[in-house]
């Protein structure tokens, strides 16, 4: 009686496929923003990120969570985090593909390519990208300390991954993190109590002694961090290496690792600075704008990362629905399931459209219009895409039925995605903080007197006249911005700016049927409050075929 039944009608996992070549919406958006770009590096990354071996590393790195060794067995402090070898394999691949600081040493289009690569890698494993993203983000902010920048820049941009805890001078490549959040305040960093006392001027500039703590301090095994602390002139930004130039360990104590909902492969810690040595970056008292240069880029990555997670959740749902039968038909053949999958596909493509539009603004640093777009679209994309992420992954999970909810030793990729989703919405500025930042952005004028509202109008203009719902939204949006928006309405405004820009971009690089269905549902009100409620006239076949990973 060993043979009780045969396992039938269960889907085969999606493995060994190229995440880039099979992602039509991403390739079309890239071709629009970066015409003629060489996609060989993304093809190579797409192959890596879809490989069975890498999927196994992603599973293992999440199942075998990082382990803190605060002391050795003789009672001496060591403050080291031990990772599973699979974590290092993933980190090594991400760095080798230039997803950290490399874009800063690249030519035109390097940030677009890196943005697309970041999305693809997130589909494989999101949590190792925390230190990778922080390393990308810190590189320009570090210019605030020229001697440190010139010494560290080649290592921040190098494609060599070197996890050893040794002085940076002995390493081929380095990673960096950031420390702002304290127990008494994260969004309101002005509440920081960590104290910085000036000690002496060294070849790296003004050196201070830091005493205090950070309540959230991710990837504590990075080689250095930008941290905020109170100096005599006010909150200031400091460069704090883990190992000092003479090889001694800096006085950074890892108190414990956070026990998190998801993001399991990444270590997020609580730390104390027991007289740690740190060097001033930028001006004393100007710490918030200095570190926000970094924060702006990590916010970009939150939008990119969520977009990648959405795509992976979508293709898992499509893969399952293509194979699993119920009531005599494949799930993909049932009209109502087609509505759910098409609705998810639209949301996923709209996220790609907004994410890549924002990434383009980071590629064209000297373009005045792009600078205003960077300012306004960063909080908008971070707010809206990350807000949609959790809802999206719940619906995609439901497409897999009960199997979607099961972890099974880390094989349940959908469960991992679901646990990861809320994080991008919380860290680097939670939803309200992003919406309030949009209100601040709308007050901004550049050196030519051009304001953000005018730049937004110019951005939305080309798509006008193509769809009534779009025209109505854009007209009302511009009037509302002109009249002034109350703080209470900030989320509504962020949502509407996001939807308008998504539609404007879809008009330009997606097929008509995608643009039409997006506008009819999201802008025209012909839609319900859950996914799977697209209007009957939508081109379900076209939308689903475009989203299929094979
Ligand atoms: C896994 C993880 C890793 C992290 N890693 C790091 C790290 O490496 N470095 C680091 O510095 N931080 C890190 N953080 C911290 C994160 O950035 C903060 O948690 C986040 O910025 C929110 O701060 P807070 O937790 O103090 O919440 P609060 O600031 O108390 O906010 C709570 C809520 O109040 C809202 N709120 C705040 N002010 C206003 C307002 N004026 N109007 C309306 N609503 C408001 C917020 O939107 C939020 O919803 C990490 C967090 C997590 C979960």
List pLDDT tens digits, range 169-227: 999 999 999 999 999 999 999 999 999 999 999 999 999 999 999 999 999 999 999 99
> What's the mean pLDDT in 382-406?
98
Name the residue with tokens 């493509």.
349
Is the Cβ atom of 37 under 6 angstroms away from ligand 1? no
> What's the mean pLDDT in 480-506?
97
Is the Cβ atom of 268 under 6 angstroms away from ligand 1? yes
Is the Cβ atom of 63 under 6 angstroms away from ligand 1? no
Distance CA 20, CA 255 (A): 40
Going by pLDDT thresholds of 50, 70 and 90, the confidence category of residue 144 is very high
> What's phi and psi for 437, nearest 5 deg?
-65, -35
- Whether the predicted pLDDT of 140 surpasses 90: no
| Ligand 1 centroid from CA 278, angstroms | 24
Pocket residue to mutate for ligand 1, from 213, 215, 426, 490, most atoms within 8 A of Cβ: 426
Is the Cβ atom of 437 under 6 angstroms away from ligand 1? no
> What's the mean pLDDT in 52-77?
98
- Strand 195-202 and strand 77-82: pairing? unpaired
Is the Cβ atom of 179 under 6 angstroms away from ligand 1? yes
Is the Cβ atom of 220 under 6 angstroms away from ligand 1? no
Dig out the tokens for 370 from the structure.
């792009």
Give, using CA atoms, the residue closest to atom 20 of ligand 1: 427
Give, using CA atoms, the residue closest to atom 33 of ligand 1: 430
Q: Which atom of ligand 1 is nearest to the CA of 177?
A: 8
Q: Which atom of ligand 1 is nearest to the CA of 181?
A: 11
Is the Cβ atom of 217 under 6 angstroms away from ligand 1? yes
Name the residue with tokens 């403050």.
79
Q: Are 189 and 235 in contact (CB under 8 A)?
A: yes
CA-wise closest residue to 281 among 176, 171, 158: 176
| Ligand 1 centroid from CA 216, angstroms | 9
Is the Cβ atom of 186 under 6 angstroms away from ligand 1? yes
Is the Cβ atom of 430 under 6 angstroms away from ligand 1? yes
- Whether the predicted pLDDT of 407 surpasses 90: yes
- Whether the predicted pLDDT of 332 surpasses 90: yes
Give, using CA atoms, the residue closest to atom 51 of ligand 1: 427
Is the Cβ atom of 433 under 6 angstroms away from ligand 1? yes
Q: Which atom of ligand 1 is nearest to the CA of 260?
A: 1
Q: Are 346 and 542 in contact (CB under 8 A)?
A: no
**Which is more confidently placed, 275 or 366?**
275
CA-wise closest residue to 384 among 317, 458, 459, 306: 306
Give, using CA atoms, the residue closest to atom 44 of ligand 1: 432
Q: Return the beta strands (E) in 17-124 as ranges.
A: 67-71, 77-82
| Ligand 1 centroid from CA 430, angstroms | 6
| Ligand 1 centroid from CA 189, angstroms | 10
pLDDT digits (tens, 9 = 90+) for 469-487: 999 999 999 999 999 999 9
Pocket residue to mutate for ligand 1, from 177, 179, 181, most atoms within 8 A of Cβ: 181
- Whether the predicted pLDDT of 446 surpasses 80: no
pLDDT digits (tens, 9 = 90+) for 93-117: 999 999 999 999 999 899 999 999 9
Is the Cβ atom of 181 under 6 angstroms away from ligand 1? yes
Is the Cβ atom of 423 under 6 angstroms away from ligand 1? yes
The DSSP result for 140-191, as a single string, is HHGGGSHHHHHHHHHHHH-S------S-GGG-S---EEEE--BTTBSS-GGG
What's the chain's average pLDDT?
A: 97
Q: What is the pLDDT of residue 2?
A: 78
Give, using CA atoms, the residue closest to atom 42 of ligand 1: 432
Is the Cβ atom of 177 under 6 angstroms away from ligand 1? yes
Is the Cβ atom of 178 under 6 angstroms away from ligand 1? yes
Q: Which atom of ligand 1 is nearest to the CA of 428?
A: 17
Give, using CA atoms, the residue closest to atom 25 of ligand 1: 186
- Strand 205-218 and strand 268-281: pairing? antiparallel
- Whether the predicted pLDDT of 450 surpasses 90: no
The counts of H helices and E strands in the chain are 17, 11
Q: What is the pLDDT of residue 445?
A: 78
Is the Cβ atom of 295 under 6 angstroms away from ligand 1? no
Q: Which atom of ligand 1 is nearest to the CA of 178?
A: 9
pLDDT digits (tens, 9 = 90+) for 23-52: 999 999 999 999 999 999 999 999 999 999
Q: What is the pLDDT of residue 449?
A: 79
Give, using CA atoms, the residue closest to atom 29 of ligand 1: 187
Please list, residue by residue across 515-524, b when 16 or more beta carbons sit within 10 angstroms of its beta carbon and e when fewer do. Answer: bbbbbbbbbb
- Whether the predicted pLDDT of 448 surpasses 90: no
- Whether the predicted pLDDT of 55 surpasses 90: yes
Is the Cβ atom of 412 under 6 angstroms away from ligand 1? no
Q: What is the pLDDT of residue 356?
A: 98
> What's the mean pLDDT in 295-316?
98
Q: What is the pLDDT of residue 32?
A: 97
User: DSSP letter at 520?
Assistant: I
Give, using CA atoms, the residue closest to atom 38 of ligand 1: 187
Q: 77: buried, middle or exposed (CB in 10 Å: 19+, 13-18, 0-12)?
A: middle
Going by pLDDT thresholds of 50, 70 and 90, the confidence category of residue 365 is confident
| Ligand 1 centroid from CA 185, angstroms | 8
Going by pLDDT thresholds of 50, 70 and 90, the confidence category of residue 263 is very high
């Amino acid at each position: 009686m060993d043979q009780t039944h045969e396992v039938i009608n269960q889907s085969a996992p999606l493995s060994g496929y190229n995440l880039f070549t099979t992602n039509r919406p991403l390739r079309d958006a890239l071709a629009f923003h970066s015409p003629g770009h060489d996609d060989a590096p993304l093809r190579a990354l797409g192959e890596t990120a879809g490989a069975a071996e890498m999927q196994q590393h992603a599973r293992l790195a999440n199942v075998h969570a990082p382990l803190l060794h605060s002391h050795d067995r003789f009672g001496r402090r060591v403050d080291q985090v031990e990772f599973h070898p699979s974590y290092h394999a993933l980190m090594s691949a991400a760095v080798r593909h230039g997803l950290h600081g490399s874009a800063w040493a690249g030519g035109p289009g390097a940030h677009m390519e890196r943005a697309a690569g970041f999305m693809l890698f997130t589909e494989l494993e999101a949590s190792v990208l925390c230190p990778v993203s922080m390393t990308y983000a810190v590189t320009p902010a570090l210019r605030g300390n020229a001697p440190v920048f010139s010494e560290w820049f080649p290592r921040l941009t190098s494609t060599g991954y070197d996890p050893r805890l040794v002085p940076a001078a002995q390493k081929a490549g380095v990673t960096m993190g950031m420390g702002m959040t304290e127990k008494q305040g994260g969004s309101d960093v002005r509440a920081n109590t960590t104290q910085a006392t000036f000690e002496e001027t060294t070849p790296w500039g003004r050196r201070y002694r830091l005493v205090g703590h950070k309540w959230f301090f991710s990837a504590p095994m990075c080689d250095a961090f930008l941290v905020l602390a109170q100096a005599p002139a006010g909150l200031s930004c400091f460069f704090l290496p883990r190992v000092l130039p003479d090889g001694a360990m800096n006085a950074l104590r890892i108190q414990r690792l956070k026990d998190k909902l998801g993001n399991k492969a990444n270590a997020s810690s609580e730390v104390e600075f027991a007289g740690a040595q740190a060097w001033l970056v930028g001006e004393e008292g100007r710490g918030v704008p200095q570190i926000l240069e970094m924060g702006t880029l990590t916010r970009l990555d939150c939008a990119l990362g969520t977009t990648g997670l959405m795509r992976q959740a979508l293709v898992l749902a499509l893969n399952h629905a293509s194979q699993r039968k119920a009531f005599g038909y494949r799930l993909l053949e049932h009209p109502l399931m087609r509505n759910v999958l098409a609705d998810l596909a639209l949301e996923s493509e709209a996220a790609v459209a907004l994410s890549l539009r924002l990434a383009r603004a980071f590629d064209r640093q000297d373009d005045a219009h792009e600078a205003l777009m960077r300012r306004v679209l960063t909080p908008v994309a971070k707010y809206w895409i990350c807000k949609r992420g959790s809802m999206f992954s719940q619906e995609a999970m439901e497409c897999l039925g009960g199997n979607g909810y099961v972890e099974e030793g880390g094989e349940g990729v959908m469960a991992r995605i679901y646990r990861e989703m809320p994080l991008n919405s919380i860290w680097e500025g939670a939803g309200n903080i992003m919406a309030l930042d949009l209100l601040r952005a709308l007050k901004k004028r550049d050196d030519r007197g051009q304001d953000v509202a005018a730049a937004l109008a110019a951005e939305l203009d080309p798509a006008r006249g193509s769809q009534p719902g779009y025209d109505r939204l854009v007209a009302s949006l511009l009037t509302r911005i002109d009249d002034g928006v109350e703080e209470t309405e900030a989320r509504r405004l962020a949502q509407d700016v996001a939807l308008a820009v998504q539609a404007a971009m879809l008009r330009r690089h997606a097929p008509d049927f995608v643009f039409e269905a997006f506008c009819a549902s999201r802008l025209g009100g012909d839609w319900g409050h859950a996914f799977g409620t697209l209007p009957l006239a939508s081109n379900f076949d076209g939308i689903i075929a475009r989203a299929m990973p094979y």
